[in-house]
Structure formats: structure tokens, C-alpha cells
Amino acid sequence: MCDNNDKTEKCCNFEYLKPLSIDALFEVDDCTKYADTLEKAKRVRNAFFAAKTSVFNFINDCDIIADTLQSDLSDNDVELNNIRDQYYTVLNNLTSALYTSLKQNYNNRQLINVDLAKVDDTKGSFNKEQAARPQKSNDLSFSHPYGSGVTTLCYIPGVTIQLNKEDRMLKLKLAQPDLHSGYNRHGQYKKEVDVVTTLVLAPSVECTTSWNNWDEDQEANGFTHCNDLGETRPTTTAKTVFSNVDIAMDFFEEFQNYQDNYILDGDMSYGNQVLEVMNYFDRVIRTMEGAHKFVVQLSKINNAAAC
């Protein structure tokens, strides 16, 4: 009804029905688009920082074990078996901490594809090569409010934590495209193929030759360690680094001194790549921080900072 008191004038304030859109029911506002991307970048950054912290804690635990060896250099089976059990415990703690740190979900979707695989190579070298399939990488994407389509800001690596149940070698398989994705000639999104980087976080505890041939004072001796360089295992049961206190000391000292150049270039290296793992995690952390900074700046440019 009209509220006009003048009965002689007619009041017609009717309006046409506005169009309804089903798509509008599922759209999110600009602030939500910014917030979702920022939250994903923050969670991935924190996850890889937590993973780096777990590796750092593992090094500290190995440092404590090395101090135990230095304070008690008794070369007997009981003490060496105790050192071995301590190392296996901190190694298991490392695998659990890595998996827990990287297992991150957001809106019921997994941000980082991560898997903890325990493999067994006792059935032959063929099965060892076919151990675990690397996890695929994810995209950190952003839907620009004033653009068209979804933009890929960067990649979130897929992580496979692979522990060998026999020789306790711990590997990280990190899958990530080498180049940024583009569009094909038809304008459809096309992701690049993942490139897998394999890094040995904890080397094998087994030896390829007997530790009896090893001499502390000799620069190049007959002792070689089973790293990931393709050596053939002997037919007899291999000795471990815990068979001799001097070899055990060298094994843990390489964890302590993982940043020293002589360890990286030395012929007697046991094969740990802790420094490479730390650097890889740092690169992912910086990438996520850069993506986060870009989205924050974009929101300010588009006057969405107050959302």
C-alpha cells in the first residue's frame, strides 16, 4: 500500500524481480579468497619449519649419543648394542616427527601429500629399486578477484619418508616440478611433470666390507660404507657401524659436523645429506613466505586489507 495521504495521487513503487544465479550461492567474497590462500601458505610454511626442527632435534640426539661414546670408550658388545638401540629410537622419533609435521589439512583437504613407507630389500636388489612411489606435489593457487581463472603461485612438494627396515637407511623423496606450469595452446591448465629429488637423511648402518680392515690412522683404507652409490652387497652378512666403537664415533661425528666441507667432499663419508635436506626445507619455507607476501600486497592494492 502507498503511504501517501493524498488520495488523489497514485503511488506506484513496484520493482521488477531481480535475476537469481545458482553460481552466486557458491561464490566466496574477495576477502575469503585472500584469506584461504594466506592460510594455506602459512600452514605449509609452518609445516616445513616443524620438519626442519625435527631434523635439528635428531642431530642433537645424535650429539648426545656421541658424547656417551666419548665418555665411555668401552669396546664391548653390551655397550655398543645399547648405543645401537638408542640410535634406532631417535631415528624412529625422527620419522614420526617428520610425518606428523607435514601431515597438514585445510578444509578437509590435504595440503601436503606425505607418506611414511617402510621398505625391505632383503628379497633382492630389484625390489629395492621398486621401493615406494613418490607422492605427487600440490599447487598453491589463487583466484584473483579482478582476474580470470585460477593462478598457480607456487608448488607444494610431495614428500615420501622411506625407511629401510633392514639397514635403517632413511630417505626423503621430494617431488616437485622443475618449471612453473603454463597453459597449452587451447588455454587449458597443464601441470608440469614432477621431478623427484632423493636425499639420504640417515645412511645405512651396514658395511659393505668388514670393519676389521678399517684403520683410524689410515687416510684411505679398506673399509667402505654402504651408501646410495650403487655398491653391490656381499653375500655374507655385513657388519654394522656398531661393531666397533671407533667406526661408531665417526658415524655420529658426521651427523654433528654435517655442515663441514670436508665431510661433503671426503671419500670416507657415510653418505648422509642432512645439509641438503635442511637447504631444501629452507627453500620451501622462503617460497611460501614469498607467496604469502605477494597475496598480502595484492589485497592492499585492491583495497581489501580491511576485510
Q: What is the pLDDT of residues 27-40, one digit of tens each?
A: 555 566 888 899 99
Round to the nearest angstrom and report the end-to-end CA distance of the chain. 39
pLDDT for 126 equals 44
Non-local (6+) Cβ contacts of 86 within 8 A are 65, 68
- Residue 133 scores a pLDDT above 70: yes
- Provide the pairing of β-strand 158-164 with 114-119: parallel
- Chain centroid to Cα 253, Å, comes to 24
* pLDDT at site 235: 37
pLDDT value of position 292:
93
Confidence tier at 273 by pLDDT (50, 70, 90): confident
DSSP per-residue codes, 157-225: -EEEEEEETTT--EEEEEEEESS--EE-TT--EEPPPEEEEEEEEE--SBBSS-GGG--TT-SS-S--B
Nearest-5° angle of CA 63, CA 64, CA 65?
A: 90
pLDDT at 130: 47
Rounded Cα distance, 276 and 22, in Å: 50
Percent of the chain residues past pLDDT 70, beyond the cut: 68
Task: Grade residue 3 by pLDDT with cuts at 50, 70 and 90.
Answer: low
pTM given for the model: 0.77
pLDDT for the residue numbered 206: 81
What is the mean predicted confidence (pLDDT) over 82-104?
Answer: 94
Residue scoring higher pLDDT (261 or 164): 164
Give the per-residue pLDDT at 24.
62
What b/e sequence results for 89-109 when a residue is b if at least 16 CB atoms lie within 10 Å of its CB, and e otherwise? ebbeebbebbbebbebeeeee
The residue written with cell numbers 595440503 in the block is: 111
Confidence of residue 13 (pLDDT cuts 50, 70, 90): confident
Confidence check: pLDDT of 93 > 90? yes
Does residue 97 have a pLDDT over 90? yes
Question: What are 241-255's pLDDT values in tens digits?
Answer: 888 888 888 888 888
Decide which of 169 and 262 is more confident: 169
Q: Which residues touch 280 (CB under 8 Å, ≥6 apart)?
A: 174, 197, 199
For 260, the 3-state DSSP assignment is coil
Q: Which residue has the higher pLDDT, 38 or 73?
A: 38
Q: What is the pLDDT of residue 193?
A: 86
For 258, the grid coordinates are 654435517
Q: Give the per-residue pLDDT at 222.
A: 41
**Are the C-beta atoms of 24 and 75 separated by less than 8 Å?**
no
How far is Cα 45 from Cα 51, in angstroms, rounded to an integer?
Answer: 10
Summary mean pLDDT of the chain: 77
pLDDT at 227: 37
- Burial (CB count <10 Å: 0-12, 13-18, 19+), residue 173: buried
The dihedral formed by the CA atoms of 183, 185, 186 and 192, expressed in degrees to the nearest 10: -30
Pick 115 or 261 by higher pLDDT: 115
Confidence of residue 173 (pLDDT cuts 50, 70, 90): very high
Q: What is the pLDDT of residues 198-239, one digit of tens each?
A: 998 998 888 655 544 545 454 443 445 543 333 443 333 447
